[in-house]
A and B are shown apart, each in its own frame.
Chain A
Amino acid sequence: MDDIHRLIIDQVPHLRRYARALLRDADTADDLVQDCLSRAMGRLHLWTPGSNMRTWLFSILHNQHVNSARRLAHRPDQVDLSPDHATLQATQPEQSGRHEVRDLGRALEQLSEDQRQVVLLVGLEGLAYTEAAQVLDLPMGTVMSRLNRGRQRLREIMDQDDTPGLRRVK
């Protein structure tokens, strides 16, 4: 395998992780990664050797996602499939650690998509702020304010969830 193909393959697990966290459905997420890779292979000549493969691929993934979300916008049944409902029913009453973890997944869904993207690129994928700005094609200030609002919002949701009496009946 060429070096360039190796570089791409190395990023696939990360693209899949981000896509899964963003879309909350494994199949939809892999479809997005598939679109991203097809597109990347079709424009491999546009990649500058030595430049950042991760931001290049994440940018393509982001653009593909924006395009498909736009197309599906009038079909909310297609984007609103939350696997959490299934998990919710299938999961037995659990220890508190597991409960917190799952609640963060659900809290993420309550963020705006803009905020979720930044929170995930930075908090999960570990992108530098400049890289996240590049991937999302946004000014740095916008990235920082979305990150700040997203994290604040997540915290509020989690705090609410932890309030006795308000906790959901499982």
Chain B
Amino acid sequence: MIGSESVNQADLHAYVDGQLDPAQRLCVEAWLAEHPEEAASIHAYRLQNTRLHDIYDTVLDEAIPPELEAIVTGQTASRPGRAGIFHRSWMRLAASIVLLVTGGVGGWLLHGAPAPPTARLAASFADQAMGAHRVFVAEVKHPVEVPADQETHLVAWLSKRLGTKLRAPDLVSVGFDLIGGRLLAEGAQPAAQLMYEEADGRRITVYVRASGGASDTSFRFVSDQGVSAFYWVEQDFAYALVAPMERSQLMAIAQQAYSDLDQR
């Protein structure tokens, strides 16, 4: 509690910001009457607040951009980015090309747009995959729990924990060698991360977990602060391929991953 004898800096700011109760406010005002220098500061600080509102309050009057609203209402699972509709249709086209390339056309096209619950699940799934990517690719000493020279053990172990037979896609043809993997937790659910490395040291990850009954989806793309992911659900697994790359570059690798998984 402040008395008029001892008003400190924090009280003065609280006075500026209207965070004092009426009694405290009176104390500060009485004190300021005798301290003109501090009173001048208070005046200047109040003016700062007013000017901040003068400059930035116009933002409050702007309509919320639809892509921001869509994230909250869950109307779209992927972030459209600035390219908007063009980007989304490009993705559909790209997904169709993958289908033709891999020959997995049957049924997949029939799924059409996924139901909203599936979409929401997928969005948080990509979020988890990207989070795990950020955490572990930076690791120098322990990027993986089990290195790739024990691939059989790695795959058997992760398959056992995921409860479904896991396959590590072969990405050698696009320049990435498997360096290993680790077990992660997504909520209470086990998930696996496989890490691949390019000759120049660049790393990408494949994040996998049981699909939990979600219906198959086409490729979806999400990009967040320099890291991008393609993610999809196929049969028993939900996959996300995560890399610090642009869409087109990542697409080539996603195609390879999908095609390799599909052939086995």
Contact = CB atoms under 8 A, between A and B. Distances in A.
A104 B45 CA distance: 12
A133 B49 CA distance: 19
A103 to B, nearest CB: 9
A12 B66 CA distance: 12
Contacts of A14: 60
Most buried by B among A1, A38, A128: A38
Most buried by A among B55, B64, B65, B82: B55
Contacts of B67: 34
A42 B52 contact: no
A5 B74 CA distance: 10
Q: Decide if the interface of chain B is mainly helix, strand, loop or mixed.
A: helix
B73 interface: yes
B51 A100 contact: yes
Contacts of A148: 9, 13
A135 B171 CA distance: 42
Interface string B40-66: 010011001101111111011010110
Contact of B127 (A42, A105, A120, A158): A42
Contacts of B48: 104, 119, 123, 151, 154-155, 158
A38 B71 contact: yes
Interface residues of B, number: 42
A42 B119 CA distance: 12
B68 interface: yes
Interface residues of A, number: 47
Contacts of A128: 19
B225 A13 contact: no
A129 B225 contact: no
Interface string A126-164: 101100000000000000100110011011001000000
Given A34-B67, A42-B124, A104-B52, A155 B13 contact: no
A144 B68 contact: no
A38 B127 contact: yes
Contacts of A12: 64, 68-69, 72
B48 to A, nearest CB: 6
Interface of A: 1, 5, 8-9, 12-14, 16-17, 20-21, 27, 30, 33-35, 37-39, 41-43, 64, 67-68, 71, 100-102, 104-105, 119-120, 122-124, 126, 128-129, 144, 147-148, 151-152, 154-155, 158
Q: Nearest 4 A-B pairs (CB), nearest first?
A: A42-B127, A17-B59, A42-B124, A123-B49
Given A105-B55, A129-B19, 17 more contacts: A16-B68, A17-B59, A37-B68, A37-B71, A38-B127, A38-B224, A41-B71, A42-B127, A67-B225, A101-B51, A102-B55, A123-B17, A128-B19, A129-B10, A144-B13, A151-B41, A151-B45
